[in-house]
Amino acid sequence: MSEHASSRLGADDGHLDGNAAGGLLRELFAVDVTAADATCASCATTGPVGALVAYGHRMGAVLRCPRCAAPVLRVVRTPTGHWLDLSGARVVRVRALTDAAPPPA
C-alpha cells in the first residue's frame, strides 16, 4: 500500500476487508461476489472484491482499493431496494462455475 493510501486508511479508522460486505452483496447477486475480480478505475489494481477495504454501517458499505484507497464499489440498502455504484471499478469479473475447482472426492 502506498504512503498516501496508508495515511487515508489509518489503522484506527475501524475498517474491515471486503468480505464484511459479503452478506449484503449476496442479497443482490446469486454468486459470491467477494470472489469476483475487480479492477480499480484509479490505479488499475486488480484483485478479489473480498480483498477491498470495507467501510460500512447498517445501510451499506463503501469498498476501497487497498492500494490507492479510491472507492471501487458502493452498496446501500434502503426500504425500497438496493443501490449499487460500480463507477470506481473499470471491470468486475465473476468467474463462471466451470472455472471453479472441482469438489473434493
Instruction: List average pLDDT for each run of 10 residues in the chain, which is 105 residues long.
Output: 51 76 78 92 97 91 97 95 95 77 57
Within 10 angstroms of residue 61's Cβ, the number of other Cβ atoms is 22
- The single-letter code of the amino acid at 52 is L
Cβ atoms of 53 and 69 within 8 Å: the answer is yes
Please tell me the pTM assigned to this model.
0.69
pLDDT at 23: 80
* Domain ranges for the chain: 17-93
